Structure 1
């Protein structure tokens, strides 16, 4: 499914209609889920460890928190009330994308080629490992918050 401007606006409108007390009760489930995905990403990134800087740079950003300074749009992007991020990278580790997706040979100016690095995915597999559990946890938190709010 592609997200168009129209569908994005529709989602934003629906999210704005959610009562604050329900959002507050769902945020701990989101935070816990983001931390679990980050922990699994760090465990999966161990396979590519040379200095450990990449593994140590993996961070969880919970609802209403800003991304770390060296993440994409670092320090400028804040998670929504119902959103979390897992980021990899800091001043010493700017190569997470190269580890995740691998590298292809490049031709240097002198005609020689660089080596390749096979992909060692860690972020996407961490999400795939946790997706079902995250969805169940958040659905459960939403349903519980709605039940409590309706009593």
Structure 2
């Protein structure tokens, strides 16, 4: 078993031991944070706009909710009760990874070139812009929930 798997299992056990009252008080902070990251990702994705399908496919998924189809690993994923996702993709916009990371030139079998596309990141920068605020908000919600639950 890898260290990552052990760490993940340990975290899962610790999260399962949290009182439900604390979880319920932290979830609104997660929902607000995920919505802010998604809004910033949509704003940043405007730079790559052609049809608008990618921008319109960016969605926030809150705790205990399921991502839209085609948004993650080609399927759906359900968030943990203390987890949220920002995803980009739908049946009409399955190119978010190409926009985020760009493409390099390749030769196809018929000899034609695929061309290149420079990266126009939108998801990672949105997370980086919001990371400190998200961490403060969630930490504050956790401290407040523990304080209120302990009384």
Please indicate, yes or no, whether the TM-score normalized by the shorter chain is above 0.5: yes
C-alpha RMSD of the superposition = 1.4
1:35 aligns with 2:43: no
TM-score (normalised: structure 2)? 0.95
Matches of 1:82 and 1:112, distance apart in 2:
48
1:122 aligns with 2:133: no
Structure 2 counterparts to residues 1-151 of structure 1, below 5 A: 4-73=4-73, 76-151=76-151
Matches of 1:47 and 1:73, distance apart in 2:
24
Equivalent residue of 1:10, what SS? helix
Matches of 2:17 and 2:73, distance apart in 1:
28
> Per the alignment, do residues 94 and 7 of structure 1 end up closer, same or farther by CA in structure 2, a change over 3 Å counting?
same
Q: What's the offset of the Cα at 1:74?
A: 5.8
Equivalent residue of 2:65, what SS? coil
Query: Unaligned 5+ residue runs, structure 2?
Result: none
Query: Unaligned 5+ residue runs, structure 1?
Result: none
TM-score (normalised: structure 1)? 0.95
Q: Are the equivalent residues in 2 in contact too, given 1:54–1:95 (CA < 8 A)?
A: yes
Matches of 1:122 and 1:58, distance apart in 2:
10
Instruction: Indicate the larger mover: 50-59 or 70-79.
Output: 70-79
Equivalent residue of 1:60, what SS? strand
